[in-house]
Amino acid sequence: MHNLAVYLTQCLVKNELISGDRREEYQYAVEVVLGKVVNYTTLLIIALITANLIPTVIFMLFFFSLRKRTGGYHAKTALGCYVGTIVSYLIVAGVVVPAVTGNLHVQLIALLISIVLILTLAPVNHPNLGLNEEEMLENKRLGRKVLAVEVIVLGVMILLGLRTSVMLNVYVFIAYGISGIGMNGVLVCMGKWSMQEEKID
């Protein structure tokens, strides 16, 4: 991934599409984008193979839209990030969701704990981000907005589940949505506890 990012950045500089003095910034940005494309594509391929596309898309929407604002633990390498993302998803799909689907009380407790953790600890200012105080406050504000929207969506899904006969499918979707929020809560805690945070002077 790193080598590909270096090559693509060199091509951009050579064709004068970007300035050479900002090569490292663009190289990092290209590497991040490539990593996201590979991660998202792999998750969707797994979802298609396991006939689990809609729940997986729900998980990805809930997880990645919030992750962008909350920050949290980051692997040291692109490979570590890739493996961590895939293993986390497989744990959610293979262990967490089957264990909690249909048990709304457990899901709501997990959701409440995740909300408290995110509201209390997020955002985590990872050194790669290097956010200043204003950017931190903006991320906190936007993170809370995203979290509020996700909780409202979950509330609507719960009401649909209680009012319709297709309860199992709705509760599977709810479990994946709550897992996306919960995964953010876990990563925020890991980012704090591993001291993986840049302090603002």
pLDDT of 139 strictly over 60:
yes
pLDDT for 33 equals 83
Q: How far apart are CA 9 and CA 144, in angstroms?
A: 35
Q: What is the pTM of this model?
A: 0.85
What is the tens place of the pLDDT at every residue in 164-201? 655 557 889 999 999 999 999 999 999 888 876 666 55
Q: How far apart are CA 46 and CA 37, in angstroms?
A: 14
Residue that is written with structure tokens 């391929």 in the block: 45
Secondary structure E strands in 73-146: none
Residue that is written with structure tokens 């897992």 in the block: 179
Confidence class of residue 109 from pLDDT cuts 50, 70 and 90?
A: very high
Q: How far apart are CA 156 and CA 151, in angstroms?
A: 9
Confidence class of residue 129 from pLDDT cuts 50, 70 and 90?
A: low
Q: Are 87 and 96 in contact (CB under 8 A)?
A: no
What is the tens place of the pLDDT at every residue in 59-88? 999 999 999 899 888 888 888 889 999 999
Each domain of the chain, given as residue ranges in start order, spans 1-49, 52-193
